[in-house]
Amino acid sequence: MTDTAIKGVPAEDDPRHRVPLAKPGTTLTSITDIVAGIPERRATPKAWYVAFAIALTLLGTLGAMIAYLLFTGVGVWGNNNPVFWGWPIVNFVFWVGIGHAGTLISAILFLTRQNWRTGVNRFAEAMTIFAVACAAIFPGIHIGRVWLAFYLFPLPNQMQMWPNFRSPLLWDVFAVGTYATVSLLFWYMGMVPDLATLRDRSVHKVRRFAYGLLSLGWTGSGREWSRFEKAYLILAGLATPLVLSVHSVVSFDFAVSQLPGWHTTIFPPYFVAGAVFSGFAMVVSLMVPARQFFGLKDLITINHLEVMNKIILVTGTMVGYAYAMEFFIAWYSGNPYERFAFVNRAFGPYYWAYWTMVSCNVISPQIFWFKKARRSIPIMMVVAVFVNIGMWFERFVITVTSLSRDFLPSSWGYFRPTAIDMLTFAGSFGLFFTLFLLFCRFLPMVAMAEVRTMVPEGKPSHGHGHGGSHE
């Protein structure tokens, strides 16, 4: 290691030096104090109550909309013939996509030893779980006879009827179900040592009991740590293919059908890239206010955010490539239906949705080529929100425009959402934020145990240069 500066490169960009992952001066104790201090705070901040009230109202709206739907019928939405799938499926794919960042950060970045993940992984994983919970609602309520949803599961029954294993929707049930289960386990298991910390610091009886229950008797012995690390690694190994599989399978819902605009082999990688893209954008848009608000700036530094913005840039560009490639293949295939589907997307009655999507997803992240922009809180917030909007529109464009004009011009139609569609979607944010605010208030937002390894005295290789590992 040499300290000679490279000419023309600022010190913080010197690739030979790792950027510190916690603000210098952070100690093992201060990490615990910062993170555990949030749930331990006696007086809940007023702002939290305001936010929670809004979120609960939205959640109530969701409940009301679902109840109305169940009592009235799927007709309360704008779905029609030919657009049999409308906003609910768009919302489902949107939320599943958002649910990608968490597991990617915790599993893939863990396996690839991207230590910067430690600051954000808990947060992102929580977001994943909540997003998947939101996503899971939609296919459930989307079907015509919700009370028979169990037909989708391979349950032994007197009819000796199995589901149709050829149907991508069934694969979806398994893919999303597995992903939700593994993500939840991964998140919870990773949280056990931190829950034990909270338990140990609790003064209130109820809190001690609750955290005690959740921390499964964790004592922090070396044996426990050793098993914990092994289990975490195994789960990370299990979760990694799931990150890729779940959205690939979701994309099969479209790709396996024969609808022009859906029937495309590019869909699996394109969907995964899009999912990571939207997931990271959502993490950024949640994390920026959260770190501000809960005083986590020392642990979630601007460097963390910059790294995530880089990923947004990369995945956004991948998505842009996919958009272009779809057009190229549509033209190159010589299939007139396919060609029309794409011309119609960009220049047909839904052109506004298409160009909203392109502007938000492909153009807006390009600003992250500039370091200043990557490190600017206002810019990254705007871009992250744009990306979320754009990714919702991407699913809308894929789902609705393809369906609205397929093979026979006689059956073409135009989709118009209803107020119920909009309120249901808004309500899903209520569920998301309700869970998220509860998480912020009662659970450790940052993986204390992992971040501790990032400060010099917490590293196993303390005093022996940079880098570090968990083993």
Partner 1 sequence: MSQIENRPAYAAGPNDMWRSLGEWEHTPEFEALVKKEFPAANPDLLGPVDRRRFLQLIGASAALASATSCRYEKEELRPFATRPEGYVPGDRRVYTSAFERDGVALPLHVTTVDGRPIKVDGNPNHPSSGGGSDIQAQAAILEFYDPDRSRGVTQWAEGQSTQSTWEKALEALKGALASRRGDGAGVAVLSEVSASPALASLRNRFQAQFPKARWVQFASGLAAGPLEGARLASGQGSEARMRLVHHLERARMVLTLDCDFLAQADGVRHRADFAKGRRPEGDMSRLYAVESRYTGTGASADHRLPLAPSRIGALLELLEQELAKFGMGGVTPASSSSFDAETQAFVHVLADDLWKHRGQALVMAGDQLAPAVHARVLALNERLGALGKTLDVIQAPAELDAPGMSGLEDLTGAMSSGGVEVLLILGGNPVYDAPGDLGFDEALARVAVKAHLSLYANETSRLCNWHLPKAHFLESWGDARSFDGTYSVVQPMIEPLHDGKSSLELLSELVEEKALTGLELVRRAFDEVAKAQGGGDALWRKVLHDGLLAGSASPTLSIGFGAGASAKLPSAATGIELQLFPCPKLGDGRYANNGWLQELPDYLTKVTWDNVLLVSVQDSREWKVTTGDVVKVSAHGKSIEAPVYVAPGHAQGAVSLAMGYGRTAAGRIGGDRRQGVDPVGVHVAPLRTLAQPFLIDGVQVEKTGKTYPLATTQEHHMVDPKGMAAREERMGALIRTGTKEEYDATPNFQEDRTHPHPPLQSLWDSHEYHDYKWGMSIDLSTCDGCNACVIACQAENNIPIVGKDQVSRGREMHWIRVDAYYRGTPEAPVVAHQPVACAHCENAPCEEVCPVAATVHSDEGLNDMVYNRCVGTRYCGNNCPYKVRRFNYYHYPKRFFGHEPELMGLGNNPSVTVRSRGVMEKCTYCVQRIQEAKIDAHNDGRRVQGDEVQTACQLACPPKAIVFGDLNDPASMVAQAQAGPRSYALLEELNIKPRTQYLARVNNPNPALAPAATEESHDGHGH
Strand extents, DSSP E, 142-248: none
Does 157 participate in binding partner 1 (rule CB under 8 A)? Answer: no
> How far apart, in whole angstroms, are the C-alpha atoms of residue 362 and residue 348?
20
Q: How far is the CB of 136 from partner 1 (least distance, A)?
A: 15
> How far apart, in whole angstroms, are the C-alpha atoms of residue 255 and residue 139?
18
Does 261 participate in binding partner 1 (rule CB under 8 A)? Answer: no
> How far apart, in whole angstroms, are the C-alpha atoms of residue 467 and residue 17?
10
* For partner 1, the closer CB: 162 or 331: 162
Report the residue from 114, 226, 411, 461 that binds partner 1 according to the rule CB under 8 A. Answer: 411
For residue 297, what is the DSSP state? T
Does 278 participate in binding partner 1 (rule CB under 8 A)? Answer: no
Does 67 participate in binding partner 1 (rule CB under 8 A)? Answer: no
Q: How far is the CB of 358 from partner 1 (least distance, A)?
A: 18
Stretch that binds partner 1, among 114-122, 138-146, 198-206, 297-305 (CB under 8 A): 138-146
Tokens 């037909």, residue located: 151
Q: How far is the CB of 409 from partner 1 (least distance, A)?
A: 4
Q: Which of 465, 469, 425, 404 is nearest to 2 (CA)?
A: 465
Distances (CA, A) of 447 to 108, 191, 219, 326, 459: 17, 7, 17, 40, 15
Residues sharing a CB contact under 8 Å with residue 326, sequence separation 6 or more, in sequence order: 264, 266, 270, 342
For residue 42, what is the DSSP state? S
Does 169 participate in binding partner 1 (rule CB under 8 A)? Answer: yes
Q: Which of 128, 121, 60 is nearest to 95 (CA)?
A: 128
> How far apart, in whole angstroms, are the C-alpha atoms of residue 446 and residue 123?
6
Report the residue from 44, 219, 226, 258 that binds partner 1 according to the rule CB under 8 A. Answer: 258
Q: How far is the CB of 152 from partner 1 (least distance, A)?
A: 6
Site for partner 1 in 437-456 (CB under 8 A): none
Stretch that binds partner 1, among 201-209, 339-347, 446-454, 457-465 (CB under 8 A): 339-347
Does 149 participate in binding partner 1 (rule CB under 8 A)? Answer: yes
Report the residue from 6, 161, 234, 324 that binds partner 1 according to the rule CB under 8 A. Answer: 161
SS3 419: helix
Q: How far is the CB of 64 from partner 1 (least distance, A)?
A: 19
Does 369 participate in binding partner 1 (rule CB under 8 A)? Answer: no
CB 50 within 8 A of CB 415: no
* For partner 1, the closer CB: 44 or 258: 258
Stretch that binds partner 1, among 110-118, 136-144, 209-217, 385-393 (CB under 8 A): 136-144
Does 178 participate in binding partner 1 (rule CB under 8 A)? Answer: no
Q: How far is the CB of 131 from partner 1 (least distance, A)?
A: 22
Alpha helix (H) ranges present in 334-447?
A: 336-347, 351-358, 371-374, 377-396, 402-404, 419-442
Site for partner 1 in 285-304 (CB under 8 A): none
- Tell me the site size for partner 1, rule CB under 8 A: 55
* For partner 1, the closer CB: 47 or 159: 159
Report the residue from 39, 82, 193, 261 that binds partner 1 according to the rule CB under 8 A. Answer: 82
Residues sharing a CB contact under 8 Å with residue 5, sequence separation 6 or more, in sequence order: 11, 14
Does 160 participate in binding partner 1 (rule CB under 8 A)? Answer: no
Q: How far is the CB of 347 from partner 1 (least distance, A)?
A: 6
Got the DSSP string for 64-102? Answer: HHHHHHHHH-GGGSS--SS--S-HHHHHHHHHHHHTHHH
Does 24 participate in binding partner 1 (rule CB under 8 A)? Answer: no
Does 410 participate in binding partner 1 (rule CB under 8 A)? Answer: yes
For residue 409, what is the DSSP state? G
Binding site residues, partner 1, CB under 8 A = 72-75, 78-85, 142-146, 148-149, 151-152, 161-164, 166-170, 173, 253, 256-259, 336, 340, 343-344, 347-349, 403, 405-414, 416
